[in-house]
Amino acid sequence: MLKKVDEFISMPSITSFVDDTHSSSADDDGEGKIRYRAVFISDLHLGTPGCQAEEVLSFLKEFPSDKLYLVGDIIDGWQLKRGWFWPQSHNDVVQKLLRRARKGCQVIYVPGNHDEFARDFFNHSFGGVEVHEEAVHTTVDGRRLWVIHGDHFDGVIQYAKWLAYLGDNAYTLVLKLNRHLNHWRAKLGLPYWSLSQYLKHRVKTALNYVTDFEVAVSHEAAKRGYNGVVCGHIHRAQMREIDGILYCNDGDWVESRSALVEHMDGHLEIINWHPDLENSRLGTLSTPAREAVAV
Ligand SMILES: [Mn+2]
């Protein structure tokens, strides 16, 4: 399978097809923008209210590329099963991805656990979007990066559930609940229960989880002979070297709005997309300035 993907990526016909994109029509997004060799995004969670679809659209418009990797959890099938939520902007994202494929961008979709329904369609193509169990991206300077969503490592890591993420709303709710709880505890003559201590423990567990995940994924990439790995799943953008392996996590579009890009010269960068801010980008080697939990 892997070999097949490799061959596919290096097929000369694909390369010439990609070159056609320069003759795109006037309505093509990305016109006049800097072109990227590859863009990696994951964890959009389309179909949930948390998905920042407008920001995904503005990001894609600003970052045209020869290759686009959709690194899983693009559509949240779990949530959609519970209740249909599909606003126009979510539809627009799907349309945008399909149009990008039509315009000659090679779109490779590696499904995750929330869009596992797509896992029935490995090695099929939908409107030019190729579905693969995993992929290999070769950077212009020849580094081979293993592209996977990452959920398969959940079982490998001790913590059954990932606690890497506690959203702002959940945190606000916990604070509110804690106030009420301690109000009643005081009335019952019970001592104050320390929320900060409780959260500190949770955060520590969450951070351990993140590190364990990063290490496990990197070691597996090394075992398979890759130079690096690109994944998503834990909603924590990151790029660093772990035991000689370049570990890249492209983050998410539920909160951090982050992506990984390969410039035409082969250097990789994590983008934190804040279209409203002038400087929405972080340095190539730096870690996105985002805490796991705001405590
Ligand atoms: Mn996932």
Answer yes or no: are the C-beta atoms of 224 and 148 closer than 8 Å.
no
d(CA 225, ligand 1 centre) in Å? 24
Give the Cα separation of 262 and 38 in Å (integer).
5
Q: Across-strand partners of 65?
A: 36
Cα(71) to ligand 1 centroid in Å equals 9
Task: Please give the Cα distance from 155 to 159 (Å, whole number).
Answer: 8
Tell me, in angstroms, the distance from the centre of ligand 1 to residue 154's CA: 10
What's residue 126's pLDDT? Answer: 93
**In 196-267, which ranges are E strands?**
228-231, 238-242, 245-249, 258-262
Rg from Cα positions in the chain: 20
Q: Are 261 and 271 in contact (CB under 8 A)?
A: yes
CB burial readout 10-49, b (16+ within 10 A) else e: eeeeeeeebeebeeeeeebbbeeeeebbbbbbbbbbbbbe
Separation of 52 CA from ligand 1 center, angstroms? 16
166: Cβ contacts below 8 Å, ≥ 6 apart:
174, 202, 206, 292, 293
CA of 134 from ligand 1 middle (Å) equals: 14
To which residue do tokens 């590329």 refer?
65
CA 150 to centroid of ligand 1, rounded, Å = 7
User: What is the CATH class of 2-154+226-272?
Assistant: alpha beta
Residue 90's Cβ-side half-sphere holds a number of Cα atoms within 13 Å equal to 18
pLDDT by position in tens, the chain (length 295): 443 433 333 333 333 333 333 333 434 567 788 999 999 999 999 999 999 999 999 999 999 999 999 999 999 998 888 889 999 999 999 999 999 999 999 999 999 999 999 999 999 999 999 999 999 999 999 999 999 999 988 765 544 344 444 544 565 566 677 777 777 888 888 777 666 567 666 666 777 778 889 999 999 999 999 999 999 999 899 999 999 999 999 999 998 899 999 999 999 999 999 876 544 554 333 333 333 332 2
How close is the Cα of 82 to the center of ligand 1, in Å?
Answer: 17
CA 219 to ligand 1 centroid distance, Å:
19
Domain residue limits, the chain: 2-154+226-272
**What's the CA-to-centroid distance between 235 and ligand 1, angstroms?**
8
Give the pLDDT confidence score for residue 26 in this predicted structure. Answer: 37
Q: Is 71 exposed, middle or buried (0-12, 13-18, 19+ CB in 10 A)?
A: buried
| Cα(107) to centroid(ligand 1), Å | 19
CA of 95 to the centre of ligand 1 (A): 22
Q: What is the whole-number distance in angstroms between the Cα of residue 146 and the centre of ligand 1? A: 17
Task: Please tell me the distance between residue 16's alpha carbon and the centre of ligand 1 in angstroms.
Answer: 34
Using the mean position of ligand 1's atoms as its centre, give its distance from the Cα of residue 45 in Å.
Answer: 9
Q: How far is the CA of 290 from the centre of ligand 1 (A)?
A: 19
Q: Could you tell me the maximum CA-CA distance found in the chain, to the nearest angstrom?
A: 76
How far away, in angstroms, is 232 Cα from ligand 1 center?
7
